Chains A and B, each alone.
Chain A
Amino acid sequence: MKFTSLLTSAAVALGLATGAMAEDKTKVGFVYVGPVGDGGWTYEHNKGRLAVEEHFGDKVETVFVESVPEGPDAERVMTQMALEGADLIFTTSFGYMDPTINVAKKFPNVKFEHATGYKTADNVSVYSARFYEGRAVQGHIAGKMTESNIIGYIGSYPIPEVIRGINSAYIHAKKVNPDVEFKIVWAYTWFDPAKEADAATVLIEQGADVILQHTDSTAPQAAAQEAGNVITFGQASDMSEYAPKPRVSSIIDNWAPYYIARTQAVMDGSWETVNTWDGIKEGMVEIGEISDAVPADIKEEALAMKAAMAAGEYHPFTGPIKKQDGSDWLAEGETADDGTLAGMNFYVEGLEGEIPQ
């Protein structure tokens, strides 16, 4: 009896809380694959969410659920947000693609935005950032800085986005240092500090003095710090707590402008399905401050490359580039088209090993 009355009073309290909410607020939901405190991928998406709140103030209400597994659980979380009146839902991991499409079918009036996928619908847009532009800058610094000529790379999953990053970093490292060699470890996770630290340690033991990571936690930074003479780059977020060394620079995903623009579009009723792929030029990809551990001349070159990409004068995939098997990919001066880049499933010439199949 007591138990039931406790629950009833709770339900009443809840009902009051929901009833008190203003009806004209635009409700924006975010589904995160990691915890908001991961210091990387999800952390930046959450910063984007907070920016939306700050920009619109009372006109907007945001909700989020973190650490949502990709699959039926994600579908349930999205459905729940839609049921509770979300007008716009950002689903921020590749594995949310099919669930997003499924839920979008059931809620034609709710707008969905799926990060890093390729399936769109009348009410589903996709967006991603050209992280490979940042990788080019990293590759340049890494190629110049390495003394062992071994660069370690922690891959998450062998999907096009990650392979693109490896290729871009390798091309630019090789350009400034022909002796450079990449060692790639696949962690099969986006966020698992223990696994990421293990991967970093293995790479360092194999002689790598530069670690690049495509996973979201700061564990590889900590592992590099412990090992001593190793440099790293922040991934997805600045990770500046590890600056000036081991973290010498970073790729920062700045989702805030996009999230604000899309929320505004929903408010105006001007929302349309788009396929956004922005880079340094639009500000979706930022290069974190290059620390003093990098000699001034290298820093200058890196910044020049960044400026060239921002101005649209330089494309990281500019020929001549051959594929790993020696076949021609890009002719002299030719740049890669977005279609090939989006589905990139091959290494460029010089990289060793095979993409896991």
Chain B
Amino acid sequence: MIVLEKRPQPSKAWSYATPLVAVLATMIFGGILFAILGKNPIQAIGTIFWEPLFGEFAFYYRPQLLVKGAPLVLIAIGLSLGFRAGIWNIGAEGQYIMGAIFGAGAGLAFYPLDAWYVFPIMVIAGAFGGWIWAMIPAFLKVRFGTNEILVSLMLVYVAEQFLASVSLGLLKNPEGHGFPGSRNLQSYESAHNAELIAGSGMHLGVVAAFVAVIFAYVLLNRHMLGFHIRLTGEAPRAAKFAGVNPARLILFCLGLAGALAGLAGMFEVSGPAGVVSIDFNVGYGFTAIIVAFLGRLHPLGILLAGGLMALTYIGGEIAQSQLGLPAAAIQVFQGMLLFFLLAFDLLTNYRIRAARSEVA
């Protein structure tokens, strides 16, 4: 008989080990899945994890890891602050979309003006777009006590409708033969978030992601506000006595998460994506939730987790084309990662003990 026993203190060792164990378990069970599909499991897992980093074409995939990982990290950093304080912003996808619309809209308003200030204005507009979208659930929660989980999630679908609307109307490319989608910002130099060094994958969004990691680290460890965020999450009553103003904290956490998600959307639309189109969003806002938890809500952890998620995406595509693995198998593989993470998380707070079964 196996029993779970609550630990008096959460285990520090397990809290660090869980992500690693989860990755390992995912590899093992993912391998079994691939074997059932008739593929060589070692080859499949090797392709997913090895090819993008050290394979023949790693020179192309490594920069792509940055491109794919940066928006995940940027969004996850914002989310993690709120999650730590028990503020559940599930709507980063919507904030990401609004950031892209505002950012691209600001840039296209200047088209074809060639000026240095176009891009900075787009950055501000993008952050503002995400911020204002996150302020809706924040304000409603502070003022009327609504549930931010539901409101922020529902606003994702509203944002998607906005996205469809501007792709078909306001931001539609006048030279696009009636097809939906905006002008391509990649061919509008003043608004293009180009790679800083060609072929490196480093665009300003990647830089912003790294800056956000450092900023969040300092905030959480060296700043009173960071202390209040942690305190609110870990001991809400104590936080009250410590004079934490919950309304202010909600506005700050949701607002910051929104602004960062908005920035991610803006950097994406002005760089790798190029166009505002109906299908612009591909789920970064939702995947970032996984990244935040996979990274233990810790800035450095999130950086690593973002890289790992990006790796499974890119490696997954390689496995599809090289080995003929179905896309769904790759998605299951990614899903396993979160599943095992949550499952093994149990061991942080509980220990497993073999107890003598008491049979009558």
The CA-CA distance from A343 to B317 in the complex, in Å, is 33
The answer to whether residues A356 and B42 also contact, given A71-B273, A71-B282 and a CB cut-off of 8 A, is no
Tell me whether A197 is interfacial, beta carbon within 8 Å: no
- Residues from 20 to 70 in A contacting B, C-beta threshold 8 Å: 29, 35-36, 63-70
Task: Please state if A9 and B42 are interface contacts (CB–CB under 8 Å).
Answer: yes
The answer to whether residues A69 and B322 also contact, given A9-B42, A10-B50, A157-B180 and a CB cut-off of 8 A, is no
A185 CB → nearest B CB, Å: 13
- Residues from 66 to 85 in A contacting B, C-beta threshold 8 Å: 66-73, 75-77, 79-81, 83-84
The 8 A CB mask of A150-178 against B (1 = contact, 0 = none) is 00000001111000000000000000000
The CA-CA distance from A70 to B280 in the complex, in Å, is 7
Task: Please state if B277 and A70 are interface contacts (CB–CB under 8 Å).
Answer: yes
Task: Please state if B321 and A159 are interface contacts (CB–CB under 8 Å).
Answer: no
Task: Please state if B274 and A356 are interface contacts (CB–CB under 8 Å).
Answer: no
Task: Please state if B164 and A188 are interface contacts (CB–CB under 8 Å).
Answer: yes
Task: Please state if B184 and A76 are interface contacts (CB–CB under 8 Å).
Answer: no
Which interface class (under 10, 10 to 19, 20 to 34, 35 or more) fits A?
35 or more
**Per a CB cutoff under 8 Å, which of B47, B54, B321, B327 touches A67?**
B327
Task: Please state if B178 and A69 are interface contacts (CB–CB under 8 Å).
Answer: no
Contacts of B278 in A (CB 8 A): 157, 188
Contact stretch, chosen from A11-19, A211-219, A250-258 = A11-19
Task: Please state if A357 and B50 are interface contacts (CB–CB under 8 Å).
Answer: no
The 8 A CB mask of A336-357 against B (1 = contact, 0 = none) is 0000001111000000000011
Task: Please state if B321 and A95 are interface contacts (CB–CB under 8 Å).
Answer: no
Contacts of A76 in B (CB 8 A): 64, 68, 314, 317
The CA-CA distance from A63 to B317 in the complex, in Å, is 11
- Residues from 149 to 176 in B contacting A, C-beta threshold 8 Å: 160, 164-165, 168-169, 172
Contacts of B353 in A (CB 8 A): none
Tell me whether B289 is interfacial, beta carbon within 8 Å: no
The answer to whether residues A66 and B317 also contact, given A11-B50, A11-B54 and a CB cut-off of 8 A, is no
The CA-CA distance from A73 to B316 in the complex, in Å, is 12
The CA-CA distance from A83 to B61 in the complex, in Å, is 11
B31 CB → nearest A CB, Å: 10
Residue in A closest to B46 when the chains form the complex, CB atoms: A10
The CA-CA distance from A102 to B160 in the complex, in Å, is 26
A293 CB → nearest B CB, Å: 34
Tell me whether B318 is interfacial, beta carbon within 8 Å: yes
Chain B CB within 10 Å, residue with most, of A77, A80, A345: A80
Tell me whether A278 is interfacial, beta carbon within 8 Å: no
Task: Please state if A84 and B46 are interface contacts (CB–CB under 8 Å).
Answer: no
The CA-CA distance from A69 to B278 in the complex, in Å, is 11
Contacts of A194 in B (CB 8 A): none
Task: Please state if B55 and A72 are interface contacts (CB–CB under 8 Å).
Answer: no
Contacts of B46 in A (CB 8 A): 6-7, 9-11, 13-14
Task: Please state if A7 and B179 are interface contacts (CB–CB under 8 Å).
Answer: no
Contacts of A64 in B (CB 8 A): 320-321, 324
A79 CB → nearest B CB, Å: 6
Tell me whether B29 is interfacial, beta carbon within 8 Å: no
**Per a CB cutoff under 8 Å, which of B40, B67, B179, B273 touches A160?**
B179
Tell me whether B16 is interfacial, beta carbon within 8 Å: no
The answer to whether residues A158 and B168 also contact, given A11-B54, A63-B322 and a CB cut-off of 8 A, is yes
The 8 A CB mask of A76-101 against B (1 = contact, 0 = none) is 11011101100000000011001000
B211 CB → nearest A CB, Å: 22
The CA-CA distance from A357 to B278 in the complex, in Å, is 12
A143 CB → nearest B CB, Å: 27
A72 CB → nearest B CB, Å: 4
Task: Please state if B273 and A72 are interface contacts (CB–CB under 8 Å).
Answer: yes
Tell me whether B45 is interfacial, beta carbon within 8 Å: yes
Tell me whether A314 is interfacial, beta carbon within 8 Å: no
The CA-CA distance from A157 to B160 in the complex, in Å, is 13
Tell me whether B356 is interfacial, beta carbon within 8 Å: no
Contacts of B273 in A (CB 8 A): 71-72
Contacts of B226 in A (CB 8 A): none
Task: Please state if B67 and A72 are interface contacts (CB–CB under 8 Å).
Answer: yes
Task: Please state if B64 and A63 are interface contacts (CB–CB under 8 Å).
Answer: no
Task: Please state if B164 and A80 are interface contacts (CB–CB under 8 Å).
Answer: no
Contacts of B165 in A (CB 8 A): 356-357
The answer to whether residues A29 and B177 also contact, given A13-B42, A14-B47, A98-B184 and a CB cut-off of 8 A, is no
Task: Please state if A66 and B326 are interface contacts (CB–CB under 8 Å).
Answer: yes
Contacts of A357 in B (CB 8 A): 165, 168-169, 172
Tell me whether B49 is interfacial, beta carbon within 8 Å: yes
**Per a CB cutoff under 8 Å, which of B54, B181, B321 touches A65?**
B321
The CA-CA distance from A67 to B320 in the complex, in Å, is 11
Task: Please state if B180 and A69 are interface contacts (CB–CB under 8 Å).
Answer: no
The CA-CA distance from A342 to B181 in the complex, in Å, is 16
- Contact surface of A with B, Cβ cutoff 8 Å: 6-7, 9-11, 13-14, 17-18, 29, 35-36, 63-73, 75-77, 79-81, 83-84, 94-95, 98, 102, 118, 157-160, 188, 342-345, 356-357
15 A-B residue contacts at CB 8 Å? A11-B55, A14-B46, A63-B321, A64-B324, A66-B320, A67-B328, A71-B280, A72-B273, A73-B317, A157-B180, A158-B180, A159-B178, A160-B178, A188-B164, A356-B164
Contacts A83-B60, A357-B172 known; list 16 others, CB within 8 Å: A6-B42, A6-B46, A7-B50, A13-B42, A64-B321, A65-B321, A66-B326, A67-B327, A70-B277, A72-B268, A76-B68, A77-B317, A80-B321, A98-B275, A160-B178, A357-B169
- Contact surface of B with A, Cβ cutoff 8 Å: 40, 42-43, 45-47, 49-51, 54-57, 60-61, 64, 67-68, 160, 164-165, 168-169, 172, 177-181, 184, 186, 268, 272-275, 277-280, 282, 313-314, 317-318, 320-322, 324, 326-328
